[in-house]
Amino acid sequence: MSIKRLLITGAAGGLGKEMRRHLAGLYPVIRLSDIAAMAPAGKAEEVVQCDLADAGAVDALCRDVDAVLHLGGQSVEGDWPRVLNANLIGAINLYEAARKAGAQRVLFASSNHAVGLHRRSERLDHTAPCRPDTRYGLSKAFGEDLATYYAYKHGIKGFSMRIGSCFPEPVNRRMLSTWMSYDDFTRLIQVGLTADYTCEIVYGISRNTRAWWDNGNAYRLGYDPQDDSERFAAKVGDIVSDDPLEEAFVGGSYVKPDFTGDAAKIP
Ligand code: NAI
Ligand code: 15L
């Protein structure tokens, strides 16, 4: 079934604004939503300001929507109330509203922080179990489980994208491994919106020479990234943390705050 109305949550955020621009005109209607104010609706756009933690508002938001690109929520580490409201209750409201609306698929912006306490030396693929580095990463692990639940229990295609670092350019050596360009994110989203699958986990990275993860599952589904962070290596390749804990694990700077465990016991 074709997508007549695509909902993008988090549309006032960094990725939301970029994807609004990159996906413009590709679908008959794009509905844009955020808790924050957004630029007024343009041609073939609808703008709806709403808090994902408000179940009634999210039900209304999802009405007549065929597919969702779920970018909205707390995007970095935060205290429990913030993470709970935006990412747990918010995601539950979103999936439940998508189910009631009869949406076909939900693309979920998961994060490398869902697997942030895996070692960089490990070659993770889509079957790697979550090992969150933060409350934020834990909320993304929950989001991936929600996607699985709604896919198998209710038939909503679930596409969880474990995004590395999606910014204009990598800013340190870590990002030479984790970076995804906006153009490649657009390509990955288009795979999520068109490919035939039930429930998948993919990594949101470009075709980086220094990638830590095996993104074969995304390639199998049709993802063909065109960018490689290596062109920034001379500029940022020497920028590293002086903390061995941060440099050992996928999550980088997210690992150290609040850490009271024993790193030697983390496989
Ligand atoms: P961002 O923080 O710029 O955008 C998130 C948006 O969600 C904001 O505009 C915010 O107002 C909105 N939001 C927060 N709480 C909300 C609520 N309760 N109701 C409605 N809207 C709410 O983050 P960014 O970088 O654009 O990331 C987008 C998504 O991608 C996030 O879910 C983030 O966790 C995920 N992601 C991003 C990565 C990146 O490299 N940019 C890496 C991994 C994951
Ligand atoms: C994320 O999950 C965050 O949303 C983003 O702001 C970056 O910190 C990114 O991970 C990263 O690990 O670089």
Output the tens digit of pLDDT for each of the chain's 267 residues. Answer: 699 999 999 999 999 999 999 999 999 999 999 999 999 999 999 999 999 999 999 999 999 999 999 999 999 999 999 999 999 999 999 999 999 999 999 999 999 999 999 999 999 999 999 999 999 999 999 999 999 999 999 999 999 999 999 999 999 999 999 999 999 999 999 999 999 999 999 999 999 999 999 999 999 999 999 999 999 999 999 999 999 999 999 999 999 999 999 999 999
Under 8 Å between Cβ of 58 and 50? yes
Give the torsion through C-alpha atoms of 190, 41, 5, 69, to 10 deg.
40
**What's the whole-model pTM score?**
0.98
Nearest-CA neighbor of 217 among 162, 147, 143? 162
How close is the Cα of 10 to the center of ligand 1, in Å? 6
- Ligand nearest the Cα atom of residue 72: 1
* Torsions phi, psi for 143 (to 5 deg): -60, -40
Nearest ligand, CA 212: 2
Query: 101 CA distance to ligand 1 centroid (A)?
Result: 23
What torsion, rounded to 10 degrees, do the Cα atoms 13, 126, 236, 233 define? -130
Active site residue 136: yes
**Pocket lining for ligand 2, CB < 6 angstroms:** 75-76, 111-113, 165, 178
CA dihedral (242, 228, 231, 26) positive or negative? negative
Residue whose Cα lies nearest atom 35 of ligand 1: it is 109
Ligand 2: which of 70, 76, 176 to mutate, most ligand atoms within 8 Å of CB?
76
